[in-house]
Amino acid sequence: MHHFHYRQNELYCENLPLAQLAQHVGTPCYVYSHATLMHHFKVFDEAFSDVPHLTCFAAKANSNIAILKLFGSLGGGVDIVSGGELFRARQAGIPADRICYSGVGKTPEEIDYALKEDILLFNIESSQELAAINKRAGQVGRKARIALRVNPDVDPKTHPYISTGLKKNKFGIDIDGALKEYERAKSLDNIEIVGVDCHVGSQLTEITPFVDALQRLCLLIKRLKDLQIDIKYLDLGGGLGITYDQEAPPHPREYAQAILQQLEDLPCTLIFEPGRVIVGNAGILITQVLYTKKTPSKNFVVVDAAMNDLIRPSLYGSYHHIQPLRKTNQESEIVDVVGPICESGDFLAKDRSLPTVQAGDYLAVMSAGAYGFTMSSNYNSRPRAAEILVKDDRFYVIRERETWQDLTKHERIPDFV
């Protein structure tokens, strides 16, 4: 479900015509629908309303502070993977006790910052990280609340780059060695064990991998109980997929039902770290056609957005539906939609059937709300796009377009040059 729809051949976001917006703010720009964001967060969160739980939105999917604040206002927390994301979460007013910290490579500086803020918990990914957090917590006179991120060795059946719960992946602690690691954690002076965590991958379109992982975690929690280690939080990560093209992922309610069925009377507060399912279809990227170009073998539509703005097609071969902001009666043709970057890997769509467009037309790249802006870069010295939040018939610039001055503002020329 989302609020991007045609009315008399004009694409609207909620009650705002998008061509008008694009003319006003320029392109490329990311546009998010407030109503869709709210709806998606609530549907996910309410699916677990019968049990104690905390929905920690995965900031990596979309870290704009306006969006983090919106979810915070609905009672959500944030799942972070860096000091920068912690900073953003705090800027957005997310209470520290609703922040959990994942990631395999937390630096000493980041650990100290999270300890100072007194976040809810660290999801620990290795023995050395556990030792480092214990040491630093001791130095600042605190106890660090931790969960071990367990790698349950289940196949999430997703793209290899976003699959994380297999033995060969760099994430988590092997489930077979987890008991030993928990016993070690229990012996450390500055560590308080509070949870078990896992995240098996992203863009999952089936329920089975979630259930398989959960069954393994429940067994682990029972074994931990025998060792007098009580688990307060069970963090099941994120990963629920969305429809980009023909995928039919489970609805959050089906997902919740499957999870809750497995849990029986486990006395834990559940933590979830959804990203894509909340924001993916709540955002689009608007781009303008610069040129059209026919070669003996291909038709190209050259647009002003590129792989630096949306890297998913180039990086994962991902599909994003593309449609014009103004529908015409033009015949369709097969085209590659490409950006201005000097790489053949710079494309938004390949061999795609699109109504014939011309220079100046606007296109909407759909389902770009997750891992869109957050994965963008300045490659080819292209300023990053603006981000716009639409509410009803009004729009709010929640991140200004970068300028050429922004590109060089952190650079220095030494005297000898």
Ligand X SMILES: Cc1ncc(COP(=O)(O)O)c(C=O)c1O
Write out the catalytic residue numbers: 342
Q: Which residues contact 210 (CB under 8 A, 6 or more apart)?
A: 200, 204, 236, 239, 255, 258, 259
Tell me the C-alpha distance between 243 and 226, whole Å.
42
State the nearest-atom distance from the C-beta of 94 to ligand X, in Å. 16
Query: Is the CB of 110 or the CB of 273 nearer to ligand X?
Result: 273
Interface with ligand X: number of residues (CB under 6 A): 20
**Burial letters 296-329, b for 16+ CB under 10 A, else e:** eeebebbbbbbbbbbbbbbeeebbbebebbbeee
In the range 153-172, which residues lie near ligand X by CB under 6 A? 162, 164
Query: Positive or negative CA dihedral for 48, 195, 92, 388?
Result: negative
| 338 to 377: interface string for ligand X, x by CB under 6 A | --------------------------------x-------
| 182 to 211: interface string for ligand X, x by CB under 6 A | -----------------x--xx--------
Q: For tokens 């769509």, what's the residue?
A: 349
State the nearest-atom distance from the C-beta of 141 to ligand X, in Å. 29
State the nearest-atom distance from the C-beta of 213 to ligand X, in Å. 13
| 116 to 155: interface string for ligand X, x by CB under 6 A | ----------------------------------------
Query: Is the CB of 102 or the CB of 288 nearer to ligand X?
Result: 102
Query: Is the CB of 28 or the CB of 249 nearer to ligand X?
Result: 249
CA nearest to 58, candidates 76, 73, 36, 32: 76
Query: Is the CB of 21 or the CB of 68 nearer to ligand X?
Result: 68
Site for ligand X contains 58 (CB under 6 A): yes
Strands (E), 274-358: 283-294, 299-303, 322-324, 332-338, 347-355
State the nearest-atom distance from the C-beta of 86 to ligand X, in Å. 14
Amino acid at 131: A
Query: Is the CB of 202 or the CB of 281 nearer to ligand X?
Result: 202
Strands (E), 339-384: 347-355, 362-365
Tell me the C-alpha distance between 75 and 54, whole Å.
8
State the nearest-atom distance from the C-beta of 125 to ligand X, in Å. 9
Tell me the C-alpha distance between 336 and 408, whole Å.
32
| Window of 56-64, 263-271, 360-368, 399-407 that interacts with ligand X by CB under 6 A | 56-64
Cα pseudo-dihedral 8, 300, 384, 246, rounded to 10 = 60
Query: Is the CB of 139 or the CB of 208 nearer to ligand X?
Result: 208
In the range 217-276, which residues lie near ligand X by CB under 6 A? 237-240, 273-276
In the range 70-89, which residues lie near ligand X by CB under 6 A? 79
Site for ligand X contains 308 (CB under 6 A): no
Q: Which of 16, 18, 25, 61 binds ligand X (CB under 6 A)?
A: 61
State the nearest-atom distance from the C-beta of 274 to ligand X, in Å. 5
State the nearest-atom distance from the C-beta of 311 to ligand X, in Å. 15
Query: Is the CB of 212 or the CB of 273 nearer to ligand X?
Result: 273
Q: For tokens 């059946």, what's the residue?
A: 157
Q: From the CB of residue 247, how many other CB atoms can be counted at a distance below 10 Å?
A: 11
| Residue 9: φ, ψ to 5° | 70, 10
Tell me the C-alpha distance between 208 and 205, whole Å.
9
In this structure, the strands spanning 29-33 and 283-294 are: antiparallel
Point out which residues bind ligand X (CB under 6 A): 58, 60-61, 79, 102, 162, 164, 199, 202-203, 237-240, 273-277, 370
